[in-house]
């Protein structure tokens, strides 16, 4: 079963693109071992509610299988290393 990676972000956040890029690099490297979803909380009420359900107070936040993985954008390779350790 694939590891679920959810990246919570907003369109106005200056740090969110780095977190999204890290998730995309991990997806390119790990392929079907992970499932990446980018959730822009400022684009819909449903996305906002998902952030509230996780009690997310800041972006970017990366959730891994429903648990807090990173608050803020991870350093280059950090997300990939963490995901590799879970596979």
Compute mean pLDDT per 10 residues along the chain, 87 residues long, and list them. 97 97 97 98 97 97 98 94 95
Which domains can be identified in the chain, with CATH numbers?
Answer: 3-86 (3.40.30.10)
DSSP letter string, the chain: -PEEEEEEE-TT-SSHHHHHHHHHHHHHHHGGGEEEEEEETTS-HHHHHHHHHTT--SSSEEEETTEEEEESPPPTTHHHHHHHHH-
The pLDDT assigned to 1 comes to 86
Q: Are strands 3-9 and 61-64 parallel, antiparallel or unpaired?
A: antiparallel
Query: What span, in angstroms and rounded, lies between the C-alpha atoms of 83 and 85?
Result: 5
């Amino acid at each position: 079963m694939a590891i679920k990676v959810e990246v919570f972000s907003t369109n106005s956040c200056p740090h969110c693109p780095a977190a999204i890029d890290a998730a995309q690099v991990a997806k390119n490297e790990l392929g079907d071992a992970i499932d990446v979803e980018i959730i822009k909380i400022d684009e819909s009420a449903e996305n906002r509610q998902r952030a509230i359900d996780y009690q997310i107070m800041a972006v970017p936040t990366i959730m891994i299988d429903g648990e807090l993985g990173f608050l803020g954008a991870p350093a280059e390779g950090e997300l990939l290393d963490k995901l590799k350790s879970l596979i």
